Structure 1
Amino acid sequence: MPKLNLSTRDITQFLQPEHCTSTLEQKLSPNFARSTLRLTPSPYITEKALAKRWEKIGQFTDQDILLDQQTLQNASLYNKNIEHFIGTVKIPVGLAGPLRVNGLHAKDDYLIPLATTEAALVASYNRGAQLITAAGGASAMLINEGVTRTPVFLFESLIDAGQFVAWVVTQYDHFKRIAESTTSHGQLHDINVNIEGNHVYLIFEYRTGDASGQNMVTIATNEVFHYILENSPHTPEEAFLDGNLSGDKKANSHTLRHVRGKKVTAEVHIERHLVEKYLHTTPEEMSRFGQVTTTGAALSGSIGVNAHYANALAALYIACGQDAACVAESAVGITRMEVSKTGGLYACVTLPNLMVGTVGGGTSLPSQKACLELMNLHGNGKAKSLAEVAAVLCLAGELSIVGAFCAGHFSRAHQKLAR
């Protein structure tokens, strides 16, 4: 009998002899029986629809846990944020800080609300925040912003595609008027063209003001998209509103040199004695760790190099009403640590893909609004500040976790706080 390779052994441990052909067919075949768990037709939040949903699910769990009195009183506030509503989930929120930010837009000491169920996370960011503040704060600079939607048009030939592009490039001003007629916050900033054989991708880039802007740019681009289909002298054979070139909710390398959302870079200069006091290690050890793990990131095929931006961003996004799925793209970036000329530590982060807003989305829901208000970052004119704060928060987390690895404290902290 031929020797099984590892992947074959892995499969066979699940497909044991008792899973014979007839059993597999019985277990895995489609089941067309009518489900007893069908939801009410209406997805909206009404007293009647809510009661009917709980008639279905009340046997499985305690209604008061998900639909407490405060949630019930505020239920109508969620109508623009969710469908088939049944209640709310309470996630623990902790504070990290004070975090001193010396930014172009954010210039203050901040207490950062972080929503998470991961022990040791808030403690780690709190330590990094206090270190940054003790060092005089981190400098932060928002250097670019833009949110994209990328419709694609399919033609029979490259000739047709080329003629289509020749028409498109004459239409920018008209496209801009159409797109901006749909929004009070958004501005069409640029249109780029990508030709791939007989397919044409148009990259519509917007400035979205204080909103994160994914829905905004979708609605605006949809209007232009239909105008193109109705008025182009070169009719595509097929077309789709998005051709997956935008990077929406996906890690991608394009944004490392460009932008999606808000691009921020932040740095801090930390004297040696502060590294030793707060992190119990040395600038040399942290710099060396950065070099080794950069190689590790390259070997793993990582997009960018960072320790754990996703921890900070997921906790901040959930607390503050951001689209948590955007962490998939926002957590792309680069961390760098070096020994400074004076023997201290220089550390910086660059995040080109921060999808944050202070209006719209979930930012005005009761708990999420309260978290933004803790930082004085709710409402118009605050999104650029929130992006700079988010970047410095990531920097705090990078300092803390690298320090923990260098000092041999990483596992010990989790054992102490998670058990």
Structure 2
Amino acid sequence: MTVGSRHASERFAALLTEGGMEKWAQRLKPKPDGLPPHIPGGTLISQEVLERRWQVLGLPEATCAELLDSHTRQQIGRYLQHIENFIGTVKLPVGIAGPLRVNGLYAQGDFYVPLATSEAALVASYNRGSILISRAGGATAALLNEGVSRAPAFTFTSFEELGQFLGWVLSRQDDIKRIAESTTRFGKLIDLQVSVEGNHLYLILSYSTGDASGQNMATIATDAAMRWVLEQAPVKPLSAFIEANFSGDKKASAQSLQGVRGKKVTAEVVLPAELVREGLHTSVERMVEYGRLATMGGIMSGTVGIQGHFANGLAGLFIACGQDAACVAEAAIGTTRMEATPEGALYVAVTLPNLIVGSVGGGTSLPSQRACLEILGLAGPSHAQALAEVAASLCLAGEISIIGAICAGEFTRAHAKLARGKQP
């Protein structure tokens, strides 16, 4: 018997001891009757609707005041078209990492990066990495590619019908582009790819989206194009769906490293050996040794991409700056590489092919999030590309710092001290 099956048997036996099968069967049985009232109002945001929602919840006034404080009440109009069933706001601590010097194609200068998190040691780590990068002259960052995709799918009775439909679609690409772009002032259809599986057809439409992260823009444009195709095509599919899980939206996927979704950025820095010793309390050789070991660990565990903790910095940045936090699932895919230079310095590079970020639209207009973008100096139009380069440089800072802490034996001590106020 394996350890897993033994554990399962012991757990099942414990459940029987605690009440028997009849008790657990009753607890697990569907119970459709006696539902409490639903939350009223939907997209409406007003003082009256807020009071009705809190009445349904039936919680103490003190609980309401924590989420619906006076400042939030004064700004409720700012949350329209950002939330449904609105009841208040959640306040997270925001810390600053930096200065982070970035020498990018779009981002040029020293940036103080706001990070929203409740995880102690996170801001300290990114702050340390940012300062080290800046002392070395800054991160070189380059936005390599852009594109946001949506992948509708169609089913047919046979491959023959699929082929006829596909041939017609490929002959009408100019029309599809015109229809899709008619829904947006900023979006452009830049590519249309095809994948066939039996009698299933997937179309992958990729868009440039200007300064917006572009998820909704791509969806609305694709929907318009898809409706036109269904109306005009001489062969009608049995069924059609606006998205069939081929775009990589909000999930890690093998195709993430093969192209771009959002913005693809690479960032690099060379840290002199003395700076590694002084700032990280370790050596270039030990950092490179750890990099080899961690790369093999990632390969053997089957991770998509090889990196330490992109998600930590990106989640903090996304929440602070009004980005779609769920996109961290795909944005945090990428690679970290470390090498010793012939001069004995440490070369570190990160590449992130799926940075879904924007400086306009979505949550970027919310009060606190707009303020965080203003701290960066990247609020409003013409800043999305720079924001992506800063995000990649932030990830570079985080990789340097966390790997340095592990190599120096300081990783546990830092978390114990900063999260618990004591040495381990």
2:203 corresponds to: 202
Counterparts of 2:87 and 2:112, CA distance in 1 = 32
Contact 2:212 2:360 in 1 (8 A): yes
In structure 2, give the amino acid aligned to 1:369: R
Contact 2:322 2:369 in 1 (8 A): yes
Counterparts of 1:381 and 1:328, CA distance in 2 = 25
In structure 2, give the amino acid aligned to 1:31: K
1:408 corresponds to: 409
In structure 1, give the amino acid aligned to 2:21: T
In structure 1, give the amino acid aligned to 2:218: V
In structure 2, give the amino acid aligned to 1:34: G
* Alpha-carbon shift at residue 33 of structure 1 (Å): 2.4
Q: Quick one: structure 1 residues 293 and 230, their matched pair in 2 at CA, closer, same or farther if it must change by over 3 Å?
A: same
1:255 corresponds to: 256
1:88 corresponds to: 89
Counterparts of 2:102 and 2:221, CA distance in 1 = 34
2:156 corresponds to: 155
Question: Which structure 2 residues correspond to residues 330-345 of structure 1 after superposition, within 5 A?
Answer: 330-345=331-346
Q: Quick one: structure 1 residues 50 and 288, their matched pair in 2 at CA, closer, same or farther if it must change by over 3 Å?
A: same
Contact 2:308 2:399 in 1 (8 A): yes
Question: Which structure 2 residues correspond to residues 103-252 of structure 1 after superposition, within 5 A?
Answer: 103-252=104-253
Counterparts of 1:125 and 1:233, CA distance in 2 = 57
Counterparts of 1:386 and 1:395, CA distance in 2 = 14
Query: What is the percentage of aligned positions where both structures have the same residue?
Result: 54
* Alpha-carbon shift at residue 164 of structure 1 (Å): 1.0
In structure 1, give the amino acid aligned to 2:349: C
Counterparts of 2:129 and 2:50, CA distance in 1 = 44
Any unmatched runs of 5+ in structure 1? Answer: none
Contact 1:182 1:220 in 2 (8 A): yes
1:362 corresponds to: 363
Counterparts of 1:343 and 1:301, CA distance in 2 = 32
Contact 2:41 2:85 in 1 (8 A): no
Counterparts of 2:207 and 2:11, CA distance in 1 = 47
Contact 1:326 1:355 in 2 (8 A): yes
* Alpha-carbon shift at residue 55 of structure 1 (Å): 1.4
Counterparts of 2:338 and 2:142, CA distance in 1 = 18
The answer on 1:321 being equivalent to 2:319 is no
Question: Deviation per CA, 1:254-273, whole angstroms, max 9, x where unpaired?
Answer: 12020000000010011100
Counterparts of 1:2 and 1:332, CA distance in 2 = 34
In structure 2, give the amino acid aligned to 1:384: Q
Q: Which runs of 4+ in 1 moved over 6 A?
A: 1-4
Aligned residues: 419
SS at structure 1 position matched to 2:351: strand
The CA RMSD over aligned residues, in Å, is 1.5
SS at structure 2 position matched to 1:305: coil
Moved more, 232-241 or 28-37: 28-37
Higher helix share: 2
Counterparts of 1:138 and 1:270, CA distance in 2 = 10
Moved more, 251-260 or 101-110: 251-260
1:74 corresponds to: 75
Contact 1:110 1:375 in 2 (8 A): yes
1:297 corresponds to: 298
State the TM-score, normalizing by the size of structure 2: 0.96
Question: Deviation per CA, 1:367-410, whole angstroms, max 9, x where unpaired?
Answer: 00000000110100000000000000000000000000000000
Counterparts of 1:314 and 1:49, CA distance in 2 = 31
Moved more, 386-395 or 7-16: 7-16
Contact 2:306 2:336 in 1 (8 A): yes
